[in-house]
Amino acid sequence: MKIAISSGHSTKCRGASDIIDEVDEATRVVDTVASMLFDAGIEVEKYHDTVSDDQSENLNRIVDWHNARTRDLDVSVHFNAYEHTSKPMGTECLYITQQKLAADVASAVSDAGDLINRGPKKRTDLFFLNNTAEPAVLIEVAFVDSQADVDLYRENFRWICDAIASALAGQEIVPAPEPEPEDALFQATGTCSWFGGPDDDGVSASEDLAWLETWDQVVDAGLEGYFLPTQPSGTSGLARRLDPDGPYYCACRWDYDVTPKSMLKDKDIKALVRANGRELLAQPIDWGPHEAETGRAADLSPGLMEALGIATDDEVEVIYPAPADIQPEPGERAVVKLVVTGLVDVLVNGDLVYSGQPGSRS
């Protein structure tokens, strides 16, 4: 049994978009389903079109990719759209020859996600189903413009992916426990304290930061947003100019051989800070805590501690870089607004960029 699975549309010729974006979510579902199948020992190959910029090129490219594989089953993942509504719409699975499989997928996704089961639907007008050479199904996971569907999809993301993987494989696939991000270069666990801002008398009024010693360096790095617009009176150093209630920042005892200063000051690479069942992204801004405070693993911005619901000397974990799937898009300033215990919603500048299990990688 070998499965070829792809996301619908392309990053340059996008599908439906309303409360959530079809291409982004189909990509996430395909990645997660493929990794679940792989972990269960089922042969799988996945594909996302990031090249095509018109629909016909996109359809041909996806179908060509499928037909170039040796496989037993072709699967395309889409999200549906109709009109913006608060009402539930549901899930469906489209087929030409695979009625039973389509029925299994639709009912499994419906059960796992608590989504309305719109059932298997025979469609003879779809390029993917008409032109892939092996048995094929096209999954419409949920409606991007139904708030009820989107809420259920976010809440049950992992179970929906597990249901798709199990139905495609024809066997129950139990998702593996969440792996730690394997790309992390730095990890620290321990107690924390706060630092930075006009009220931080733990640093002198003239103290700068480990890799930011002048305002020009702050501007060059595009990190002005982490600082107050003007230097607080009676101070001259950048540590006291940090905005304690602004975008979240952190300091750890980084090893510059592993994570050099040039990397740490990159505004597009955030650290993941976990505490109290929550996860938030933060910008590395300094080296610390200093040796005198051994036992402490991290100094955090006051706003970050408040958002995590923790106080000085509470335990935190810092992972750097944060997993790629929850990093903000390059160029965006990460202003992370909300995390829900259990399942995590990460919002960057008000946009949901990640929704799922804490620490999951897709």
Closest CB to Zn ion among residues 8, 175: 8
Number of residues that bind Zn ion (CB under 5 A): 3
Closest CB to Zn ion among residues 15, 302: 15
Closest CB to Zn ion among residues 140, 200: 140
| CA-CA-CA-CA torsion sign (177, 1, 105, 21) | positive
Among 3, 15, 168, 264, binds Zn ion (CB under 5 A): 15
323 binds Zn ion (CB under 5 A): no
CA terminus-to-terminus distance, the chain? 22
Candidates 5-13, 99-107, 285-293, 335-343: pick the segment binding Zn ion (CB under 5 A).
5-13
Contact 6, 20 (CB under 8 A): no
Closest CB to Zn ion among residues 126, 185: 126
Closest CB to Zn ion among residues 106, 209: 106
Q: Which candidate, 313, 357, 361, 307, places its Cα nearest to that of 334?
A: 307
90 binds Zn ion (CB under 5 A): no
Burial class (CB in 10 A: 0-12, 13-18, 19+), 281: buried
Candidates 28-36, 78-86, 88-96, 245-253: pick the segment binding Zn ion (CB under 5 A).
78-86
| CA atoms of 26 and 116, how far apart (whole Å) | 19
Candidates 7-15, 56-64, 110-118, 131-139: pick the segment binding Zn ion (CB under 5 A).
7-15
Residue 213 beta carbon to Zn ion: minimum distance, rounded to whole angstroms: 50
Closest CB to Zn ion among residues 32, 193: 32
Residue 35 beta carbon to Zn ion: minimum distance, rounded to whole angstroms: 22
Residue 7 beta carbon to Zn ion: minimum distance, rounded to whole angstroms: 9
Candidates 9-17, 89-97, 104-112, 208-216: pick the segment binding Zn ion (CB under 5 A).
9-17
Contact 136, 124 (CB under 8 A): no
User: Residue 80 in 3-state DSSP?
Assistant: strand
| CA-CA-CA-CA torsion sign (322, 43, 37, 105) | positive
Closest CB to Zn ion among residues 40, 136: 136
* Tokens of residue 266, six digits: 């990159």
Among 46, 48, 66, 78, binds Zn ion (CB under 5 A): 78
CA dihedral 194, 198, 203, 208 (to 10 degrees): 100
Closest CB to Zn ion among residues 55, 204: 55
Residue 22 beta carbon to Zn ion: minimum distance, rounded to whole angstroms: 5
Closest CB to Zn ion among residues 15, 303: 15
Residue nearest to Zn ion (CB): 78
**Site track for Zn ion across 182-201, x = CB under 5 A:** --------------------
Contact 70, 30 (CB under 8 A): no
Unique residue bearing structure tokens 């990053």: 11
DSSP symbols for 234-278:
T--SHHHHB-TTSS-EEEE---TTTS-HHHHT-TT-PEEEEETTE
Candidates 15-23, 50-58, 158-166, 281-289: pick the segment binding Zn ion (CB under 5 A).
15-23
Cβ atoms within 10 Å, residue 201: 8
User: Residue 15 in 3-state DSSP?
Assistant: coil
Closest CB to Zn ion among residues 78, 361: 78
8 binds Zn ion (CB under 5 A): yes
| CA atoms of 285 and 283, how far apart (whole Å) | 6
Buried b (16+ CB within 10 A) or exposed e, 126-159: bbbbebbebbbbbbbbbbbbbbbbbebbbbbbbb
Residue 358 beta carbon to Zn ion: minimum distance, rounded to whole angstroms: 29
Candidates 73-81, 119-127, 147-155, 268-276: pick the segment binding Zn ion (CB under 5 A).
73-81
Residue 19 beta carbon to Zn ion: minimum distance, rounded to whole angstroms: 15
Footprint of Zn ion on this chain (CB under 5 A)? 8, 15, 78
